[in-house]
Copies of this chain bind each other. A is one copy, B any other.
Amino acid sequence: MTVLKNDRFLRALLKQPVDVTPVWMMRQAGRYLPEYRATRARAGDFMQLCKSPELACEVTLQPLERYPLDAAILFSDILTIPDAMGLGLYFEPGEGPRFRKPVRSRADIDALPVPDPEADLGYVMAAVRTIRRELNGRVPLIGFSGSPWTLATYMLEGGSSRDFRRSKVMLYEQPEALHALLDKLARAVTAYLNAQIRAGAQAVQIFDTWGGSLSDVAYQAFSLAYMRQIVAGLIAGPEGHPVPVILFTKNGGQWLEVMADSGASALGLDWTCDIGQARTRVGDRVALQGNMDPTVLYASPAVIRAEVARILASYGPGSGHVFNLGHGITPEVDPAHAGAFIDAVHELSAPYHASR
């Protein structure tokens, strides 16, 4: 395998010394970039873009051409697994993801297959291999999956939801049915992430976008427990290196202590947490990733720089911090502002690593 030229991101996840704080952006390959919009237009619809390894590779690399990012993230969708289970994923313009065959009953759950990643999601593994080859060791590649609870909400609601009514009624009325679904999804996600690791993903992130909609006890039983199961089932990389896992539960700031005991290497933070307080709460158990409010990117470069400085100061000296936004970058952001953000992280973080 190629030698990794920039390993800051992996080192920070393992709390090893770094020269500056590494940075990437959730949804960095996205609609705020004109070159992304051009590739997407060529692809036709969004899923065609995901299913073409060449085009997925192209958009994955686009932000790296513009900015000195410290990681690439596989371009894909969190709903590839339910799609491979036969639910018929499609995108209604302006409406977000939808399933033609949502899961409605215990019988539906029992009938769901656990996809074979290479056979049923080969386009994702082909994208990972293509991206690794094209990256040629510039920066590490992050693989990812949705969390079981997050995937289950889309499968049960048939798409996006405001109150997750069907999912929560199942949680409260038929907890054993929901556990069966979540266990099946956890096994599918484990196999999927392990296949991504075999194909070349050097770290993986689990996006628990909707875990924060649950009560404290329900979060632990119906979301965190299955992420823990996944983490325990992940393999080492082909070279025998550990593959760090990042858990990101949006609106999960109250639960960092229990998340830190999940076996994950790092926790993703949204912007509602103070990252310095979060560091105190989790201690040495995990690294932290985050956490600037993405709407700050609408403000001027000077404001962006000040906010980066504030977050770096809150985290304080030493490794264990991967800078990121607290959620995905939004389509209307000026690409120059994203550049100002990334430069600010590198320039302003050096003093915090001076004792290296």
Contact = CB atoms under 8 A, between A and B. Distances in A.
A92 interface: no
A129 interface: no
A274 interface: yes
Given A254-B254, A293-B215, A169 B298 contact: yes
Interface string A249-285: 0010110000000000000000111100100000000
Nearest to A270: B215
Contacts of A164: 295
A98 B254 CA distance: 33
Contacts of A163: 294-295, 330
Interface in A194-229: 212-219
A303 B172 contact: yes
A214 B274 CA distance: 11
A295 B165 contact: yes
A: contact size bracket: 35 or more
A167 to B, nearest CB: 9
Contacts of A251: 251, 272
Contacts of A218: 293
A307 interface: yes
A307 B214 contact: no
A300 interface: yes
B216 A172 contact: no
A296 interface: yes
A65 interface: no
Interface in A298-344: 298-300, 303, 307, 310, 326, 330, 332
Nearest to A276: B216
A138 B214 CA distance: 35
A217 B164 CA distance: 30
A303 B173 contact: yes
A11 interface: no
A168 interface: yes
Contacts of A173: 299-300, 303
A217 B298 CA distance: 18
A273 B254 contact: yes
A216 B274 contact: yes
B215 A299 contact: no
Given A217-B310, A253-B254, A212 B295 contact: no
Given A165-B295, A172-B298, A216-B272, 8 more contacts: A163-B295, A165-B332, A168-B296, A168-B299, A172-B299, A212-B272, A217-B310, A253-B253
Interface of A: 163-165, 168-169, 172-173, 212-219, 251, 253-254, 271-274, 277, 293-296, 298-300, 303, 307, 310, 326, 330, 332
